[in-house]
Structure 1
Amino acid sequence: MTLNRRAFIGASVAAGATLSAPMVMGASHGKPRVVVVGGGAGGATAARYIAKDSKGEIDVVLIEPTRTYYTCFFSNLYIGGFRDLSSIAHSYGTLASEYGINVVHDWAIGIDRDAKTVSLAGGGSVPYDRLILSPGIDFVDGAVPGWSTLAQNKMPHAYKAGSQSELLKAQIEAMPQGGTYVMVAPPNPYRCPPGPYERISMVAHKLKAENPTAKIIIADPKEKFSKQGLFEEGWNTHYAGMIERIGPDFGGANVEVNPDEMTVNLDGEVIKADVVNVIPAMKAGRICELADITEGNWAPVSGHTMQSRVDENIHVLGDATSQGDMPKSGFSANSQAKVAAMAVRGALTGSRVFPAKFSNTCWSLIDTDDGVKVGATYEATDEKIAKVDGFISQTGEDAAMRKTTYEESVGWYEGITADMFG
């Protein structure tokens, strides 16, 4: 089935539908308040659904530092020249004007779990009855020797979309003819498992047209990666001889970079590069650590409600979570947000709560009209979010099928962004 905007939103509404009931929990500030930190696929969706479905019974505050949100999903297509930057940019105006959400553009810098307040960088704090954290990812310090966020302007990660995406694209466009682009790929788990390899495809697409003798090298610490057979088939078809992947057996897991010299050391072999795209190991957004709800690098949650396993008054969504079988993706965060919104509304207003169900699809573009996908459905168990069944594109598919898959992804993008921002 082709997934378009109407179909996506319709399915989302059905999945998140609940039956309202009178409010059963009060709050010191009047009606109950939900504070959402992070305005991406998880946070914006949760804020919108709680505000929309509670019909004014819940006060919703969304804390997000940026006024314009750039989606990480489809940002690779901007790098490849298939979209312009404005097409992945979204504002919060509709959430404020049509849904009555109090959008606060500031950084959340602390959480007092006993007082149930969120501290803001600009001063003051916001009290909550329930808190939803959807902060996305931060990077593990020292994950790639020689690299830190202080070096991100020389060796961009572009794994938080916006200015980093613009920088990486500009660097690729400035490469000398026959130059070298090196990606340092991340270890598992990380945001958007196919993302680095879609990016390789988009960089290759751009270089094939503008710099056809350029070389692409992937330093990869993983034995295998998402959609590997599909990507490798596509690279051989569209970009033969341009892309070399160096796995852990050949030095891909022992990488050091020198941003000043623009070099990459792969297990003793030094490569001089023109562009180095470092995507380090990842962890939950910093606010989860500040709230002291992480175990290791991630925040463990119950799949039934997306509640933190450390604090029942906090729900965590998307990339920041340790939840089981779901990948860290925009689709996953959006799906989890509806489960959390339903659980929160049930707790604060007594509305009916249905069993949690989830879904995810990750699309990737390899070349013009050559789209592939992988996805699954999931259910909550007491231990985790568990995979029920799945699907994946097949190697050898005809051009018509691949074009349909790409067009489906475009419809999904329109649908999910409308679902997030109204």
Structure 2
Amino acid sequence: MKRRQFLQSTATSCTATWALGAISAFGAMDPARAQAAAGRVVVIGGGVGGATAAKYLKLFNPALQVTLIERNATYVRPYGSSEVLNGHASMASLDVSYDALRSRHGVQVLIDTVTGLDATRRHVITASGQRVPYDKLIVSPGIELMYSAYEGYSEQVARTAMPSGWIPGEQTALLARQLQGMRQGGTFVLVAPPNPYRCPPGPYERAALMTEWFRRHNPTAKVIVVDPKDSFVTDETMMLGWNRLYGFNLPDDYAKRMAPRVELQRHAGPGMLSWVRAQDGGRVLKVDAKRMRVETEAEVIQADVVNIIPPMRAGALARSLGLVDKSGWCPVDRRNFASSLVPDVYVIGDASIADAMPKSGYSANSQAKTTARAVVEQLAGRPVPEPVWENTCYALAGKDYGIFVADVFRLVEGRITRINGAARYLPLDATPTQIRLGARYQQAWLRTFTEDVFA
């Protein structure tokens, strides 16, 4: 208990220190200067990126009039949502309120749906008929799942038979019911997405958490991950956890590469969890929801539960506002995330083209802070400071087996580039204590990160 309290207090302290340090490093404004530099900033999208931007705009310059437009009265956080599937968390625990943004920071929160943009007059148009004026507009539109990417799959199929649950909500609850009610000895197939996608370690963490749950409640079940890729972020450290916990035998090339650095266990048989990568025929060709079949390049898999995480692109809002190019994502000026297509508009988070930065909540939070500072400085007619971004993705290979990837980014020749060295991951030779601490950090991060964004 003392260790847990220490970790939680340390994580809270780190978050608070970062918030205060960001304000101090960027330069706090005296009241007279702040009032002179005041303006109207509208933020569309109340997820991690948008909420962080709204909060930090007010922290950097309290005199700003900041309006956050979000269609849902409550935010349902995607990070940590896979823990609903194994009962570690409830759907209700994912709900986050906007109350603190209103009462503590003075953000005007407008629950409405954005239907258009008048870029000439600088007005945001909403479904209720409002025209909300702005001097600068920050858009955090998130992602859209491309359900039609696979023959036989659709949004209707996802809602009723083969859920995705990558955007948390009814599909997450459906998938939890399916997995927890799966017959003894059944087969769970997880279809991993192609790059780029939200939360790089997420599909593989989900597979691990469900394998752990099945080991206790359905020990003859099988978990099969079919993948259009040959590698993934945290692959070595995640698969090492699979090897130790679930009898997973690493592919020969991975085993050969990792063997000089860590002792691997060799298991008889395939184990509960298997990973079929692209070079082994893991690309999905089509699905049959009625027969619960997944056809890959290698074989047709008969399943009891199928979780499809389809390809992704920038959210529909981004397309409707003219912020998307032919890539399906939003091109931006890397220095301040200003849209390359619409003036006085900034696009942050998963929808933006951010080079080496992954599509993650931590990245969106980091981008929101630097963009908020850039907007404050531009409104005041001052130079924008050189940006530095961070990202840390925590993941679990099991309840007490934590891993991570941590990076720092700067602009190098106009592109966002990772500048830290090779030590990005939990070391392969990490001690059992370090691994358990990684899991504790993940749980503490879920709480303190939410506080940094919304509290």
Question: Number of residue pairs matched?
Answer: 416
Say yes or no: does 1:250 pair with 2:280. Answer: yes
TM-score normalised by L of structure 2? 0.87
Following superposition, the deviation at residue 22 of structure 1 comes to 4.4
Q: Which moved more, 1:311-320 or 1:262-271?
A: 262-271
Assess, with a 3 A threshold, how the Cα gap between structure 1 residues 351 and 91 changes in structure 2: closer, same or farther. Answer: farther
What SS class does the counterpart of residue 85 from structure 2 fall into? helix
**2:157 equivalent in structure 1:** 151
In structure 2, C-alpha distance between the alignment counterparts of 1:287 and 1:328, rounded to whole Å? 17
Q: Distance in 1 between matches of 2:153 and 2:394?
A: 30
1:10 is aligned with what amino acid? T
Give distance in 2, aligned partners of 1:155 and 1:109.
Answer: 30
1:127 partnered with 2:133: yes
> Secondary structure at the residue paired with 1:299?
coil
| Higher gyration radius (CA) | 2
For residues 350 and 82 of structure 1, the distance between their equivalents in structure 2, rounded to whole angstroms, comes to: 49
**Deviates further, 94-103 or 350-359:** 350-359
Checking the alignment, whether the CA contact within 8 Å between 1:24 and 1:350 is kept in structure 2 is no
* 1:35 equivalent among 24, 32, 42: 42
Gaps of 5+ in 1: 26-30
- How big is the shift at 1:239? 1.5
Change (3 A) 1:83 1:12: same
Among all aligned residue pairs of Structure 1 and Structure 2, give the percentage whose two residues are the same amino acid: 36
What letter is aligned with 1:388? I
Cα offsets for 1:238-263 (capped at 9, x unmatched): 11211121111232224211223322
Deviations 1:21-63, CA, capped at 9 Å, x for gaps: 24556xxxxx6221111111111000011123321x2111111
8 Å CA contact 1:248, 1:254 repeated in 2: no
Amino acid at match of 2:114: A
Q: 1:380 is paired with a residue of what secondary structure?
A: strand
Q: Is the 8 A contact 1:110 1:290 kept in 2?
A: yes
Query: How far did residue 117 of structure 1 move?
Result: 2.0
Provide TM-score, normalisation by structure 1: 0.93
Is residue 2:439 matched to residue 1:406? yes
| Aligned partners of 1:186 and 1:220 also within 8 Å | yes
Letter in 2 for 1:58: L
**Distance in 1 of aligned mates of 2:382 and 2:450:** 26
The letter of the residue matching 1:284 is A
Do the aligned partners of residues 354 and 34 (structure 1) sit closer, same or farther apart at CA in structure 2, a change above 3 Å counting?
same
- What is the alpha-carbon root mean square deviation over aligned residues? 2.0
Q: How does 1:80-95 map to 2 (within 5 A)?
A: 80-95=86-101
Give a deviation string over 1:196-242, Cα, whole Å, max 9, x none. Answer: 00000111111111111111111100011111111211112211211
Counterparts of residues 92-241 of structure 1 (less than 5 Å): 92-140=98-146, 142-153=148-159, 154-240=161-247, 241=271
Change in 2 beyond 3 A, CA 1:297/1:311: same
Contact 1:22 1:350 in 2 (8 A): no
Equivalent pair of 1:302/1:323 in contact (CA under 8 Å) = no
Is the alpha carbon distance of 1:254 and 1:172 closer, same or farther for their aligned partners in structure 2, counting shifts above 3 Å? closer
RCO higher in structure (CA 8 A, sep ≥6): 1
Look up the match of 1:392: 425
Q: CA deviation at 1:360?
A: 0.7
CA distance in 1, matches of 2:200, 2:157: 24
Q: Which amino acid aligns with 1:162?
A: G
